Chains A and B, each alone.
Chain A
Amino acid sequence: MAAENPPGDGRLVPDDFDDDHAAFLTVQRVAGADDGPLDGATVAVKDNISTADIRTTCGSAMLADYVPPYDATVVERLKTAGATVVGKTNMDEFGMGTTTETSAFGPTDNPTAPGRVPGGSSGGSAAAVAAGQVDYALGSDTGGSIRCPAAFCGVVGIKPTYGLVSRYGLVAYANSLEQIGPIARDVAGAAALLDAIAGPDEHDATTRHDTREDLDVDGHPADATSYADAAGGGIDGLSVGVVTDLVEGADEAVVERFEAALDDLRAAGATVHEVSLPSVETAVQAYYVIAMSEASSNLARFDGVRYGQSGGYDGDWNESFATAREAGFGEEVKRRVLLGTYALSAGYHDKYYRQAQDARAWLKQDFDEAFETADVLASPTMPVPPFELGESLDDPLRMYLADANTVPVNLANLPAISVPAGETDRGPAALQLIGPAFGEERLVRAGSALE
């Protein structure tokens, strides 16, 4: 079946490539090494991860023609591991969204719940995996952008600990929060993909653990670990702390599926108790202040000099930059850049940015305390089932609040996994398990107990 791309929408998807849900922006195959742990596997790559000689648009008109001259470290590692890159997937523009609808190239449909959004911002990656177009996909997660689409599409997604996976080549949205991570149909698959991409990188100083005194680790945590081996490892005696603050207020159908998943964990030998993280109350506000502030700086370079449509030479440089940015960015990006610029401005910096940093520190402390009594923490990944296409696009606040359960993990630099927890009447629900820093092995073991 031919792709349902309206002509001229800018997608580079051949007619003979099945893309019923419009998951891809660019289809261009790159074969990996002849052998390796991922030999023969196909992988889709989110379009904010740089691929040499393949355009990398970030879902933005600003970068519609941008072709990077270099591969992101994770793409190099995929190739080394023997995987074949199939193409680049749709996403919310620069990762700013929860539905993949802010893409300049149009929306992606949810293969598991047609007519609904696939979640975002890595919606194309999750949809490609859910539709069986690829074995695996890479997403990136700044405030839930891997876990949300994994949850909405009924697949598995892992947001790694900050510093586990190199960000070199990931076009930054909010660089203190985001990580690249795997999406797959099962936990073992996601773990295998994580094995291929995790580990220190000389091009990303935040993966260098010899410089991090806050971590009591010898070398890089990924060096001596096989995440795939942890799948199916059993969870007898595992202590699961349910974050009550993240369950209250969730959709009833979602909570029902969540409780059922907890029962499955108990049946597999885990103990479940309740914990409270009072600091999550301010997490969404803190997240948006920090993410938007960083975005206002990270996206500054898209000024028409080298990217996007040049503003022309009437007027001074500032006017030229403004013209290019007005034309090249979508509404949601402009909203976040403007709010972020405001939050960092003199006179407001203390009120917003500094206070958000304080909230972030408080949250980290809360998580540390919670892990004194729990091996992993649990919550519904998303408090709601997938929205209908078009439903939330005009209501940014509603979209932001849907991130309530995922953003605390990014603010605390922690790892989390989203595993399917069955269907509601409006599409899939999912369970999120949160681990301590570099506790990915534990998450894989616990997540696989639900399969």
Chain B
Amino acid sequence: MTAQTAQARDLATVIGLEVHVQLETDTKIFCGCSTEPADEPNSRTCPVCLGLPGALPVLNEAAVEAAVKVGKAIDADIPVETRFHRKNYYYPDLPKDFQITQYDAPICQDGRLEFSVEGEDRAVAIRRAHLEEDPGSLQHVGGDIDTADYTLVDYNRAGTPLMEIVTEPDFRSPGEVRAFLAKLEEVLEYLGVFDATRDGSLRVDANLSMVDADAVADDGAIDGSTLESANRTEVKNISSHKGAEQALAYEQSRQKNAIQRGADVAQETRHWDESKGVTLSMRTKEEEKDYRYFREADLPPLRVADWKKRIAIPELPAARRERFREAYGLSREAADKLTSTKQVADFFEEVAEAFDPGLAATWVADELLGELNYRDMHVTDVEGRLDEVTRLVELVATDEITAKNAHETVLRGMLDGGEDPDTIVEREGLGKTGDDEVADAVRDAIEANPDAVADFHAGEDGALNFLVGQVMQSTGGSADPGTVNELLREALAGD
């Protein structure tokens, strides 16, 4: 193929994901050690998670319950019986030099997750999601993995329950991947089985290949042989939504350029270097990995046939969004924003119950989220101060300050200066001016501006606006413009 014709080819991107998420349980998946992070290396360990000779795993059913919750949320099949296998490979962070994982009877199969990207609804099929144990972590001292003087092993993380979620190759762009990951995290957080703030709680491996655009059907389907024949790369070391989008965008253009140059795309594993913003071929002497899977006899199969029925999950974002629209009469956009995380939704409902749902929607969806977004902050960053936001809404709801001041001075001051709303209102003198004071200001304005009064009586509309402006100015903006308008008309009428 000449470069000319290659350039003419239209290419489509195909991406599939393997997402590892740490499940939030009090104790590890096969022993009683705490999963809380610890400063002291190897302080959260026991014979089991250290893989000492003779120690045996015992399944923590809380991890299975968390996995079943995920399964319900992604509408997956839960088997009658779930069981564990050993995945054998040598690595210094792996205490037993095998990992206990699931192979032929994963806890979830055939699920799907819906999400929207740029206003368009998408769904991605989830082939399987299974439980496994996290390895320990390595610390390379004096350099990186290739140049370190020596390497230390910390087994505190070893045995943390992990769920590996494997999608079908249904993604067609890096942007879709980012939106999917955000949605997945949202669902996991709604379920209370995931903590996004924990270091290493999300790890993504992505397979990307380019195929002829002609091979993609209108409904997005691609036939198996096309996928088989396309060389794909597996990109590892992705740990965020943004990182996933960047890594895959890089990989997409790298492959596209290669194909358009007429070069081959090697089937290989590549490492995402976040600081440099590039994917690098991993130097690996190993041929195709053979993990020699076989049944873990130390863990009897677990019957989970009725767990889907037995285990309840909270209302999920999609259902909650519909309910918000219905119950509170919200627009789709507002409902979307207010259900973006469980915390936002919970907070909105709290405020809506105490005050007016419309006011609550404006204050949570527009004012609060808008200001947070502007500062690149999230609701989690003001988690401990939501009662202050509630107080701010209360000040508006009870007419103590104007909406304008509440937003521009108080809310911004709260976020930038860290003060509570009452402190700001007092310091800035924003309390709505009393009626007497407004009446005084109205009288002063009329006395001080006889020309404007004459113009008003001559029928010039602009004169009243001018006078309102004068009153607002002298009251420092704390008077209610409607009230001022009314008082002025009354005073001028009797003039």
Contacts and interface: CB of A to CB of B under 8 A. Distances in A.
Q: Do A and B come from one complex?
A: yes
Interface of A: 48-50, 56, 58, 63, 66, 68-70, 72, 167-172, 175-176, 202-206, 208, 211-213, 293-294, 296-297, 300-301, 303, 305, 307, 313, 317-318, 321, 341, 344-346, 349, 353
Interface string B221-253: 000000000000000000000000000000000
B302 A211 contact: yes
A208 to B, nearest CB: 7
B304 to A, nearest CB: 12
A300 B54 contact: no
A72 to B, nearest CB: 6
B92 to A, nearest CB: 5
A76 to B, nearest CB: 13
Given A168-B55, A297-B88, A206 B298 contact: yes
B294 A305 contact: no
27 contacts: A50-B54, A56-B53, A56-B54, A63-B53, A68-B47, A69-B47, A70-B52, A72-B54, A168-B54, A168-B55, A169-B54, A171-B53, A176-B297, A202-B58, A203-B58, A204-B56, A204-B58, A294-B297, A297-B88, A297-B292, A300-B88, A300-B97, A317-B92, A318-B90, A344-B292, A345-B292, A353-B294
Nearest to B51: A301
Given A175-B298, A344-B292, A297 B98 contact: yes
Nearest to B47: A70
A313 B54 contact: no
A203 B294 contact: no
Contacts of B97: 300-301, 303
Q: Which of A72, A208, A301 has the most CB of B within 10 A?
A: A301
Contact of A170 (B54, B88, B150): B54
B58 A300 contact: no
A71 B332 CA distance: 62
Contacts of B292: 296-297, 341, 344-346, 349
B90 A68 contact: no
Contacts of A206: 297-298, 300
B59 interface: yes
A307 B54 CA distance: 14
Nearest to A340: B292
A321 B90 CA distance: 8
Chain A, interface SS category: loop
B300 A208 contact: yes
Contacts of B294: 293-294, 297, 344, 349, 353
The 6 closest A-B pairs by CB, nearest first: A176-B297, A300-B97, A344-B292, A171-B53, A169-B54, A50-B54
B325 interface: no
A324 B118 CA distance: 56
Contact of A68 (B54, B86, B88): B54
Interface string B165-209: 000000000000000000000000000000000000000000000
B96 interface: yes
A301 B297 contact: no
B104 to A, nearest CB: 12
A346 B289 CA distance: 10
A275 to B, nearest CB: 28
Nearest to B289: A346
Contacts of B54: 48-50, 56, 68, 72, 167-172
A70 to B, nearest CB: 5
Contacts of A318: 90
B57 interface: yes
A362 to B, nearest CB: 18
B303 interface: yes
A168 B54 CA distance: 6
B71 interface: no
A292 to B, nearest CB: 12
A301 B300 contact: no
Interface string B119-145: 000000000000000000000000000
B53 A50 contact: yes
Given A297-B294, A321-B90, A345-B290, A205 B98 contact: no
B95 interface: yes
Nearest to A211: B300
B318 interface: no
Interface string B269-300: 00000000000000000000010111101111
Contacts of B403: none
A68 B97 CA distance: 19
Nearest to A162: B297
